[in-house]
Structure 1
Amino acid sequence: MEESLEILEQLYKKVLLGAALERDNLDYVCYLHPTWPDQGSPTARPSACSHTPGARGKCQQPPTSSRPTSAAAVGLKTGAWETALLQLTVVQVMVTRTLSVETAFHAKERYREIIKILLQSSDFDSKLTCMFQSSDKLLGHMAAKCLASLLYFRLKEKITLSNFWLAFCQKNLSEYSENEGGVYCLYTLTAVLKEILKGTCSQKTEILKQFLTPLDATFEVFYNSLFSQHFEKLQDQSKMVNSLIHFLELLELLIASRLHLELQCPCQRVFFLKPTCVLRVVAWPVQAFVKRKLIVFIKKCLLCKVGEDLCQGSVAASVPPDEHLDGDLLALAEAVLHAVDSGLLKTLSVCGRPSCFGGGDMQPGCGCLPGPDHGILRAASLLIIKSLDIKFQNYVSAKDMKVDLQRFMSELLAFLKPHLEPSVRSQHPCEWLSQVFIEQDDDMLEAAKASMGIFLKLSREYEAAESVTQEKELWYHHTHQNGYNPHCIFLFFLKNIVFDSTVLLDFLISSETCFLEYFVRYLKLLLKDWDAFLTICKGFDVIDSNEGMNICGFMSSPGQDRSSNQTELSLLAALGSHRNAHARDSWASGAAPEPRKVVGSPETHATVQASRLSSPQASQSLVDYDSSDDSEVGSTDPCFANSEQTSSPQEAVKKTQNTVGTLGEERKLSLELPSRPVFPKESNTPFSVAGDIAPDNTVYEAGISYRTVKCFEELQGAIYRLQKKNLFPYNPTALLKLLKQIEAICNKSMNAL
């Protein structure tokens, strides 16, 4: 046994370094063939070689020892356990080295031959699966990892999958059982799918099809069996939780393969066809982390962001559209909203102690106070707002949409209210979004984009119906009351970043969020809805100037005079309340109230990772943002045309890294754009930065509106300078044109004063 361990250790060191091997291949096969320690000692290994074709009679017998005495039994068992673990580790590393491009060709061929001889053994897979039944969890885990590596090797080398393995999967996934075989089976399948999606070969679709086809029907059977269980009646609920967690990971990978690869299998749609099965688990008396994983999983599915960490940079440049995807997303959105109607939010555990690294409890005396689970709050909020957005795209009645929006947003705001800051509870309902997503940029922008989609859909419906002014005013107030007015949401976002244009620039040159799409859609809305934007800014300025008036009262028509404003205020004042003194003082200084965190700052957003634009799809979406259905800016402006754009996004971002850091200094310089100032210098109106009130207490548009347009002006100048030096990672001509139009309409409105 000691000699066997010594040979295995030498082999492990050689394979780890990718070095060539001296011994004959069959000698190594004899020492690598796994033996379950509970079934015997490693001395039985040569008999296993006899099952390998071409190996009979050629294996050298390792030195045998006499039958151990009872005193030596423990030592022998420990040695057998160490030998088995080392065997599994060597095989796994050997597979990794064989598939690596860094391994020398001669050594790689030797490793490949040894692995193929091992796979020819009729009982090789059965011995690995036998280890799943071992009471030793480490041994079972290593056996599953080793088996997953060998399965992936078979797929890469176009070797037929083992009939024993397929039968093992079909048996353990035919129905849910509380044995360990099903959990290890799910783990192995998940590990293989991860390797396929992470791979860089051009035949990933064919490999995945070869792997999924034999097990396609089995996944649906297990799906129905698992989610039809009565959790309270199970004897061992921990095994159910393990199976649930592993199967959710498997479902996520199956959906990711659907989104990122050109493959359509029934098992990839099983979740979308029966989403209520998964949603029912939220009502089970399971641990909070299980519900959290469920909600986050569903959120990723709605956003089509499943498998981003695995597939980024390795997906095909163009994947054919999935004809069933829109219908599946609609079915999922309707199922989510139905679950919310049935009390989904009431079953979520939001309060509790914050978890430490590894999921442990807080150490005594750490001084950290318990708080809500912000991950649950963000996921549940985005779940509802995105589901409404998807469902509303298929609505035809503005009245039905308004009713549904009122019902679900009231449910959401009531769910969030106990967990928001005290100052937010009594302020503008639209502030919920920036508060809930303050620490998660990507989710915040997805929620803002979804809320804008709802607003635009309702806007088009009201415009098509040619609604009278009074109905439109009530609808405008409805947008504030239910927290989805896009102007308020954007202004709260700018407040959180302290109107810093460098933060906006960082978002624009990053492909990690949907900010570019969101920003372009908002600028187009701003051009059409400029008067409403100025009216909302007046409300912000009045609040910031300590007049204590609720912003909902400023939702009158821009054409109405001051007296009609006061009339409507008297009707709507009951729907809002005043800001407290602390919030007013904080906002008057232009900063967010404590303990509010800033989404971005010049220090945290000045550096852009070059890997952000590595995905072909990401760079393509950045260039094609103007090709949407509601795009109204399709032409290019000769003043900003740049025919010598950098061809490589990575190169552009690398150059941009050296330039963005100096933007803070460049902001002090005059803009190179040949345009007049945003606000005329000859104006005698005394403008302050926080709240602009003239001596006669008249509110001018030069408060938060001034800071907003000034931020756009600085952003426009920064983009223009980067583009002029070929440092911007994509063609920003249409974006610059939108910013230029905003500047023009602002100047026009100021000159009209």
Structure 2
Amino acid sequence: METFYHVLEQLYKKILLGAPLENDTQEYALYLNLPFSIQDLSTSNFLRWPCVHHGNQPGSVNIGATPIPVELINFKINFQVSNPRDIMLLQLTVIKMMITKILSKKMEFTIKEKYNAIIEILLKSHELESKLISTFHGSDKLLSHMAAKCLASLLHLQLREKDIINKTWTDFCLKSFSDYPESNTISYCLWTLTAVIKEILKATCLRKAGLLKQFLASFDFHFEVFYCSVFSQNFENNHDTKILNPKITNFLICFLELLEILIASRIHLKLYLTCQRVFYLKIFCALDIISWPIHSLVKKKFIILIKRCLLHKVGEDVLNTSLPTLTEQDPYLDMDMLALGNAFLQAVNLGWLKQLSVSEKPSHFGGSEVQSENKSLLVPDLIILRASSLVLLKSLEIKVHDCMSASEIKAELQKFMSELLTFLKHHLHSSLKLHHHCEWLSKIFIEQDDDMLEAAKASLSIYLKLTRTWNEAAKDMTQEKETWDHQTHENGFNPHCIFLFLLKNIGFDATVLLDFLISSETCFLEYFVRYLKLLQGEKNNFSDVCKLFDEAELKDGMPISRIVTSHVEERYSNQATHQHLFCGTNHCALLPVASDPTTSGTNNKQKDNQTMKLKQPNLLMCIDNISSPRASQSLVDYSGSSEDSEEESVEEEYLSTVKQTPLNNQVNTKIREIVSVTGEKNQNYLESTAILLDPKEASTLSSVNSEAAPNSIASETVIICKTFKCLKELEKAISRLHRRHLFPYNPSALLKLLKHIDTINKNMNVL
């Protein structure tokens, strides 16, 4: 056996180097021939491996007419030197490596031909696939895992090189599906399926879609039946919550990973098979998984998978690649996304969030809880809170855009946002306690930029849709518009509050916004453009919200909701206007209204404001080819103005296709050097702003903990000053980078929009 192991070791080294094999292919097939069953690994049965056939004469071993080296005959003498299990592991490793070399484009054709001949002998004469599958029935997990890896490579090789779907493998999978949950090999079946699909997606050949369609065709119908049977299982008998069944956990993780790669293949290869759509169409039966007595890691992976589906980001981590360009629209995407969103909202309406358990301690990646002696440092599992909140918000966005009437939209919004805010307040500790309903987004997403901006974008999208629908329904009814303004705060999605909380969390640092604009990892550009366009028409709303922020900071940390109450009571104490209550879980407050005539000044200013609201710039996307830092194409054109809904839908479509190219390290370093130079010139921003406002207030405003009188000009406008100053610094930084050809795309249209915002700021007589 020692000689046998030594020969395999030398073969491994040759294949690793891609060296040619001199001996006969039958001889190499002998060394690589696996035992047929796991029992043949025992030392007593090792001599009866199919690869060894005793000849008529002692001292000779033959396979047909192929002579075998004489040294193999003597391996019985050194039987205890090597472990048969080690030999089988080495055989599997060599076979896997040989298949990898065959699939490589860098290998010489003659060497590939030799490797192919050996694999063919193993398949035809020695039933390689059957022996690999038989390994799954054993108790040795390492051998089974290595066999699964080897089988996945073999299936991919047969499919890509010969357009063959292995019948033995297909029968094994279908039997595993039908035998579930009694099948002991189902996890290996799912893992191998996932591995083959990954290999196809990662391949560079042009016919990947055809190969995958051919591979999945035989499983398509049976997989839907299997999917339903998995989520219809009754786990109530599994009362052992202290020692969770690792078999169930492993199976469910393998199943969720297979679902993710199936959905990813739909996105990347434009395939729409039933097995790729079943998670969207039949999600409702799967949502009960959160109440199963299973490991929390499985529930977390499940919710994150739903989130990625709704964000259209499935497979980015698995395939380590970004989403492909949407050159061809998925004909079923809108229908499937609506089905997924509606099913989730239906579950929430039935108490899904109440059933979702959230650990009071954060957890590591593997699911184990973080141990800490200081309980004050512990926070709830924000991963679950973020994922579930974003799923609800995206589902609500899809639902809102599918609704027609303003009353229907209003009812859906109030119902589900109230459910979400109640859920969050129940799980957030005192350190994360909400003082304003709109603060929830910043509180739970502050540690994850990409999800935070996705949530902000979804919230803004809901606001834009509802505002348009509500304005169409209410027309010029002032009281209805005031009611609508209250409801945006009450339901925690006022876009101006959300944007200001974002700026406060980053310290009004323009360089952070610049990083967001340059990065390709978030949707900040899309969100930022939409918000700036909104700000053009809602400057009065923005000003009112800023004043509330100022007063909240000046009153020693008093909750914003209480500031809002006193602010509105003071402004409307002499009016007979009906006051609308802001009813939250812990607070009841009054909010300012956008249509207050006192904020508009003269009638001429009112007309200007109305004209500004009517200006909804149209986006015209130009060619998005930014392979060079010197790209001169236009990103977007904001100069147009139209209220036409069809043009706005075109704007949404084009804006969603905006791509940002990350810069290399050298360019990024130059950017930071340029920005830092200008940053030094503006380090005394608060002092200079205070002087512009009122020289007497300069020393007060220079401190972040300013306690200026609430009635002073400075106390009412400090947040506005900070906001517009931040945007002005951002505009200057982008302009400098653009002049030096260091910005990754042409920001001319974005600069035009920022300059327009600066003009609005000057017209508001703040600076």
CA positional deviation for 1:17: 2.7
Answer whether contact 1:550 1:578 (CA < 8 A) is retained: no
Cα distance in 2 for residues equivalent to 1:404 and 1:225 = 32
Matched, 1:208 2:212: yes
Q: CA deviation at 1:438?
A: 1.1
**Alpha-carbon deviation of 1:455?**
0.7
Partner of 2:733: 718
Q: Deviations over 1:312-336 (max 9, x none)?
A: 5476545411111101101110110
Q: Which amino acid aligns with 2:737?
A: L
Between 487-496 and 119-128, report the one with greater CA deviation.
Answer: 119-128
Q: Which residue of 2 aligns with 1:750?
A: 765
Are 2:541 and 1:532 equivalent residues in the alignment?
Answer: yes
Per the TM alignment, residue 122 of structure 1 is displaced from its structure 2 partner at its CA by 6.0
SS of match in other structure, 2:83? helix
Match in the other structure for 2:386? 378
| 2:136 counterpart letter in structure 1 | F
- Matching residue's letter, 1:486: P
Which one is further off, 100-109 or 325-334? 100-109
Alpha carbons of 1:319 and 1:261: their partners in 2 closer, same or farther (altered >3 Å)?
farther
- The 8 Å contact of residues 550 and 719 in structure 2, kept in 1 or not, is answered as yes
Q: How has the CA–CA distance of structure 1 residues 698 and 364 changed in structure 2, closer, same or farther, with 3 Å as cutoff?
A: closer
Q: What is the identity, as a one-letter code, of the residue corresponding to 2:11?
A: L
Between the aligned partners of 2:154 and 2:186, the Cα distance in structure 1 is 19
> Which residue of the other structure, out of 711, 721, 726, is the alignment partner of 1:706?
721
Q: Determine the structure 2 residue equivalent to 1:655.
A: 667
| 1:41 alignment partner, one of 33, 37, 46 | 46
The separation in 2 between residues aligned to 1:525 and 1:313, in whole angstroms, is: 33
In structure 1, the partner of 2:606 is none
- Whether the 8 Å CA contact 2:372–2:378 is kept in 1: the answer is no
1:93 is matched with 97
CA distance in 1, matches of 2:519, 2:438: 26
TM-score normalised per structure 2: 0.81
Deviations 1:276-329, CA, capped at 9 Å, x for gaps: 121122222222222111111111111111101244547654541111110110
Partners of 1:535 and 1:24 lie apart in 2 by 85
Q: Which 10-residue stretch deviates more, 174-183 or 148-157?
A: 174-183
- How far off its partner does 1:570 sit? 7.5
* TM-aligned CA deviation for residue 111 of structure 1: 2.9
Render the CA deviation track for 1:221-261: whole Å, top value 9, x for unaligned. 21122112111247995433332221111111111111111
Superposed CA deviations along residues 497-546 of structure 1, whole A, max 9, x for unmatched, are: 11111111111111111111011111111111111001100000011111
Q: After TM superposition, list the pairs within 5 Å mapping 1:598-617 onto structure 2.
A: none
Q: Is the 8 A contact 1:131 1:139 kept in 2?
A: yes
Instruction: Give 1:441 deviation, angstroms.
Output: 0.7
SS at match of 1:19: coil
Secondary structure of the 1:387 match is helix
| Aligned-pair CA distance for 1:114 | 2.7
Report whether the alignment pairs 1:483 with 2:492: yes
Q: Which of 461, 469, 478 is the equivalent residue of 1:461?
A: 469
Report whether the alignment pairs 1:630 with 2:648. Answer: yes
Residue pair 2:4, 2:75 contacting (<8 A) in 1 also: no
Q: Secondary structure at the match of 1:372?
A: coil
Q: Deviations over 1:351-384 (max 9, x none)?
A: 2444346445657979996542111111111111
Structure 1 residue 385: deviation in Å? 0.8
Shift of 1:631: 8.0
Distance 1:486 1:278 in 2: 33
In the other structure, the counterpart of 2:17 is 17
Change over 3 Å in CA distance of 1:398–1:219 after alignment to 2:
same
Structure 1 residues 92-144: Cα deviation after superposition (integer angstroms, max 9, x where no partner): 12222332345455544433443343333462111110000111111111111
Amino acid at match of 1:435: K
1:173 corresponds to: 177
Counterparts of residues 548-627 of structure 1 (less than 5 Å): 551=560, 562-563=571-572, 572=581, 623=635
Rounded Cα–Cα distance in structure 2 between residues aligned with 1:447 and 1:405: 15
| Structure 1 Cα separation of the partners of residues 9 and 400 of structure 2 | 63
Q: Note the 1:295-314 alignment, pairs <5 A.
A: 295-311=303-319, 313=321
Alignment of 1:66-81 (within 5 A): 75=80, 79-81=83-85
Say yes or no: does 1:149 pair with 2:164: no
Q: Structure 1: state its 5+ residue gaps.
A: 580-612, 635-646, 672-676
Structure-1 separation of matches of 2:710 and 2:410: 42
SS of the residue corresponding to residue 403 of structure 1 reads helix
The one-letter code matched in structure 2 to 1:249 is E
Q: Does 1:422 align with 2:430?
A: yes
Secondary structure of the 1:447 match is helix
Asked if 1:506 is matched to 2:506, the reply is no
Q: What amino acid is aligned across from residue 448 of structure 2 in structure 1?
A: Q
Contact 1:41 1:80 in 2 (8 A): yes
Rounded Cα–Cα distance in structure 2 between residues aligned with 1:453 and 1:696: 35
Q: Secondary structure at the match of 2:66?
A: coil
What is the SS of the residue equivalent to 2:402? coil
Does the CA-based 8 Å contact 2:38-2:134 persist in structure 1? Answer: no
Q: Which residue, out of 253, 257, 261, partners 2:261?
A: 253
| Structure 2, gaps ≥5 residues long | 56-61, 590-624, 641-645, 653-658
Q: Which amino acid aligns with 2:356?
A: L
Amino acid at match of 1:377: L
Which deviations, in whole Å up to 9, do the C-alpha atoms of 1:415-471 show, x marking residues without a partner?
A: 111333526535111111111111111111111111111111110012212151111
CA contact (8 A) 1:553 1:569 kept: no
CA distance in 2, matches of 1:221, 1:719: 55
Determine the structure 2 residue equivalent to 1:5.
5
Which range moved further: 512-521 or 625-634? 625-634
Bigger CA drift: 127-136 or 354-363? 354-363
Residue identity in the other structure for 1:12 = Y
Q: Residues 624, 3 of structure 1: CA spacing in aligned structure 2 closer, same or farther, 3 A cutoff? A: farther
CA gap of 1:402–1:711, structure 2 versus 1, over 3 A, is same
Deviates more, 1:655-664 or 1:140-149: 655-664
Which of 664, 679, 684 does residue 667 from structure 1 map onto?
Answer: 679
State yes or no: 1:186 paired with 2:207.
no
CA distance in 2: counterparts of 1:416 and 1:522, whole angstroms: 25
Q: CA deviation at 1:11?
A: 1.2
Closer/same/farther in 2, CA of residues 302 and 439 from structure 1, 3 Å limit: same
In structure 2, the partner of 1:275 is: 283
Measured at CA, do residues 446 and 314 of structure 1 come closer, stay the same or move farther in structure 2, by a change above 3 Å? Answer: closer
* 2:602 alignment counterpart: none
Q: Is the 8 A contact 2:133 2:147 kept in 1?
A: yes
More off after superposition, 344-353 vs 661-670: 661-670
Describe the shift of the 1:651–1:296 C-alpha distance in structure 2 as closer, same or farther (beyond 3 A).
closer
Question: How far off its partner does 1:737 sit?
Answer: 1.1
In the TM superposition, what is the alpha-carbon distance from 1:386 to its structure 2 partner?
0.8
Q: How many residues are paired up?
A: 692
**Distance change >3 Å, CA 420–CA 27, structure 1 → 2:** same
Q: How does 1:353-368 map to 2 (within 5 A)?
A: 353-356=361-364, 358-360=366-368
Q: CA deviation at 1:413?
A: 1.2
Decide whether the 8 Å contact of 1:633 with 1:734 is kept in 2. Answer: no
Which of 731, 753, 756 does residue 741 from structure 1 map onto? Answer: 756
Q: Distance between the aligned counterparts of 1:295 and 1:667, measured in 2?
A: 42
Aligned letter for 1:272?
A: Y
Q: What residue identity is the alignment partner of 1:544?
A: E
Q: Determine the C-alpha separation between the residues in 2 that align with 1:171 and 1:48.
A: 33
